[in-house]
Amino acid sequence: MHLSRIKVSNFRNLDGIDVALGPHTVLVGENGSGKSNLLFALRLIFDPTLPDAERYLGSEDFADILSNPITSGVSIQITVDIEDLDDDDALAVLGGYLIRDEPPIARITYRFAPKESLESPPVSEDDYEFTIYGGDDPTNLVSPEVRRRLPMMVFHALRNAEDDLRNWRRSPLRPLLDRLASEISSDVLSDLVEEIRTSNSGAASLEEVQQLSEKINHVLAQFAGEGNTTEVAFGIAPVLPSRILRNLQLLIDGGKRGVESGSLGSLNVLYLVLKFLEIQQLCEENVYDHATLAIEEPEAHLHPHLQRLVFQHLFKLSLLAEKVPVGTFLSTHSPNLASVAPVKSLVVLRRRTPTGSVVARSLATTPFSEDEIADIERFLDVTRAECLFARGVLLVEGIAEKYVVPALAKLQKMSLDQIGVSIVVVDGTHFEAFDKFFGSRGLDLPFAVLTDADPWASGARTGAERVRRLLSSRGVRIPPNSDESVIRNLAAEHGIFLSKWTLEVDLYVSGQHQAVLSTMRALTASDAAKARVDGIVRDGEIKDVKAFLKDVESVGKGRFAQRVSTAFSGTSCPPYIFNALGWLKRQIANKNELIQSGRTGVASQQGAVAGVRKPRTSGRSGGPG
């Protein structure tokens, strides 16, 4: 059993949210993107600790875009679908709320709306009421008893874990120790109580202890008068055998110190582990049919390495616990935590401007292959998932573009950080998985692709064929017998930009020839390579392109790119990079609306492979659209 979908209407900044959920959800978004609001929306249905008084919402809980929502009779609605109802217990609890029989899907809805008994339009919040109903029938109410069998346990960001661990009523240790007590023989527990009482009586009989009790009784009598007080004495309070284990305390540092001496981070990890074990046990005991452990901003008390380690293990543990129906729901703005999350668990929230409402994108139902999931999870782990917080993404082949593109953007008076663009290195030419991840089937994030033409390669290894495959995977029809220029223009309309040659050669021919040649001369230790640089300067062109590229590889493409990016001058930029930056900037400005054919403004790319000449002018000027 798991929550498979949530739909929200007219609630705070989540108006119109309709998003798929997996068995485990990691809610990612910047501050103010609505993570806490989505968590509270779920709590309105599932949190047994939330007082009903808080389920009566106020005018401030309606979507900001609504004017006079109360007097207009607008309702707030939160709908959750529940799937994988495989066992009889789950169907027994939710069978009356099905919206589909095979496979069974149950639905529970929270609704805050004008009272049915009103005879005139509502005028205040007092004219509203909340109901929680099942299926699609507002009269089919879901009782608190049913909801208590599907609880959401919330671990707030600023929770005081120490107090909860020390307070027996709130401690997650309570059900664990009580269960142990029920499994231990009552005779064993009775003997243990007697041993403890005997051991403690020795301490109470010490002369110094008795003198203290006499002093207390003497002063007490003076304060209240003889006969008005009860005489006190030291000793162990009577303990029932069934409750003897409640006197146990968790100790840290090898049993040397109490939990109050622990750091805030270590106590939160301890609390989290105990809470998870508590929920598992209550599910095993059939107290719960399904439970969700919701953790709000776990990074608040954990340093980055501990964030990654703890939640990497939590995801594995919860995924392996197939027989124990426990789901996890995390909200975070930490790239460190998001980087270890399973791909299909990710739900990304992004704010729209200027309304402030939120767009939610889920990967729970994106049709990734196992290999694609492995590639993306490896990428997220290495890059710390920075791209999940971006407004736009530029996909590139290798580390060279990672250095060069931001420097070229600065020449065009564009800051990639300022407009929220992340450069994603796919480490090769296999863009398809990332195309799916960032595209309309995934995060639906504005993104562009930069890829080399590689005209010296053969067959499927050329850039043109690579672009053909990428367009085909998107369902774009390519006219038969299309030549490379047609493919280039069609690709540019869809955010795919193909170089004329390869990055280093395109830099040379676009007007950054001085930076390219001075960098090669400074980095190479080869006399032959230096002679080739002299020949290029003398001839005004790269006659042997393959030899030049081998020289670049000999010093390292990444090292070359890092150095050349510091030597750029003017505003010259390879046209395919210039066009990609402009296209991406417009996409972001247009709030994810695809720029259609004819509005891309593709720059021309001239030149021949046999001899690559530097331009006669200084190159491209002005910033990307």
All structural domains of the chain, each given as residue ranges with its CATH number in brackets, are 2-151+288-362 (3.40.50.300), 163-270 (no CATH), 390-613 (no CATH)
Q: Rg for the chain (alpha carbons), in Å?
A: 33
Q: How far apart, in whole angstroms, are the C-alpha atoms of residue 379 and residue 440?
A: 20
Among 390, 365, 308, CA closest to 341: 308
If you search the block for the tokens 């939330």, which residue do you land on? Answer: 50
Q: Is the pLDDT of residue 625 over 50?
A: no
Q: How far apart, in whole angstroms, are the C-alpha atoms of residue 364 and residue 46?
A: 21
Tens digit of each residue's pLDDT (9 = 90 or more) over 516-571: 999 999 999 999 999 999 999 999 999 999 999 999 999 999 999 999 999 999 99
Residue 400: per-residue pLDDT: 95
Q: If you average pLDDT over residues 109-133, what whole number do you get? A: 96
**DSSP assignment letter at 61:** G
Q: Which of 177-181, 343-347, 487-491, 597-601 has the lowest mean pLDDT?
A: 597-601
Residue 88: per-residue pLDDT: 75
Among 577, 583, 570, CA closest to 605: 577
Q: How far apart, in whole angstroms, are the C-alpha atoms of residue 360 and residue 348?
A: 6
Q: If you average pLDDT over residues 595-616, what whole number do you get? A: 43
- The full DSSP string for 436-464 is HHHSTTTT---EEEEE---TTS-GGGSHH
Helix (H) or strand (E) holding 433: helix 432-438
Report residue 294's pLDDT band, with 50, 70 and 90 as the boundaries: very high
Q: If you average pLDDT over residues 4-9, what whole number do you get? A: 97
Task: Tell me the one-letter amino acid at 256.
Answer: K
Q: Is the pLDDT of residue 613 over 70?
A: no
Q: If you average pLDDT over residues 139-147, what whole number do you get? A: 96
- In the chain, the percentage of residues whose pLDDT exceeds 90 is 48
Using the CB atoms, write b or e for 129-165: b if 16+ within 10 Å: ebbbbbbeeeeeebeeebbebbbbbbbeeebebbebb
Instruction: Provide the β-strand partners of residue 294.
Output: 154, 329
The CA–CA distances, whole Å, from 441 to 15, 38, 345, 363, 407 equal: 21, 22, 15, 8, 31
Q: How far apart, in whole angstroms, are the C-alpha atoms of residue 438 and residue 370?
A: 17
Q: Is 625 exposed, middle or buried (0-12, 13-18, 19+ CB in 10 A)?
A: middle
Tens digit of each residue's pLDDT (9 = 90 or more) over 396-431: 999 999 999 999 999 999 999 999 899 999 877 678
pTM given for the model: 0.80
Residue 247: per-residue pLDDT: 73
If you search the block for the tokens 């529940």, which residue do you land on? Answer: 82
Q: Which of 239-253, 331-345, 381-395, 606-620 has the lowest mean pLDDT?
A: 606-620
Q: Where are the beta strands (DSSP E) in 171-280?
A: 251-252, 257-258
Q: How far apart, in whole angstroms, are the C-alpha atoms of residue 125 and residue 57?
A: 8
Tens digit of each residue's pLDDT (9 = 90 or more) over 35-51: 999 999 999 999 999 99
